[in-house]
Amino acid sequence: MISSRQRFLNEFLFRWFVSSLGLLIAAGVLGSKVNFQSSFSVIVIAGLMLALINTIIKPIVVLLSFPILIFSFGLFMIVINGLMVLLASKIYDELHVTNFTAAMLAGMVIGLVNYVVVTIVEMRQER
């Protein structure tokens, strides 16, 4: 049986991996709008920053913006994801995001990567 602490650690490490992978793909898709200086360590650390932000800050922001999320049928999550990417780039200077639009696009790419990876993992667990 896995303890709750071990489960939290596993989920956080998975979130870190997916965030790093999503940032890598977003940088590839968006080109110079998301720049990590072609350094693998920058992607890993930026993924860690994003995973921490998504674990600690994002739930609070989602809770505070719940009325806007309901009114916008959830589309405001695109803005929230962009804010989280922009915050990660402000905290970790090695990750450069040119503007808020690029951050929102990167957030959408990261969200899509997250969806695909989680779907694949769940399909494999069902077998």
pLDDT digits 0-9 by tens, 14-51: 999 999 999 999 999 998 898 888 888 999 999 999 99
* 79-90 b/e (C-beta count within 10 Å ≥ 16 → b): bbbbbbbbbbbe
What does the pLDDT read at residue 15? 93
Question: CA–CA separation, 67 vs 62, rounded Å?
Answer: 9
How many domains does one find in the chain? 1
The pair of structure tokens assigned to 113 is 């990567």
Look up the domain containing 98 and give its range: 4-126
The whole-model pTM stands at 0.89
Q: What is the pLDDT of residues 45-94, one digit of tens each?
A: 999 999 999 999 999 999 999 999 999 999 999 999 999 999 999 999 99
> What amino acid is encoded at 125 in this protein?
Q
- Phi/psi for 72 (5° steps) reads -95, 10
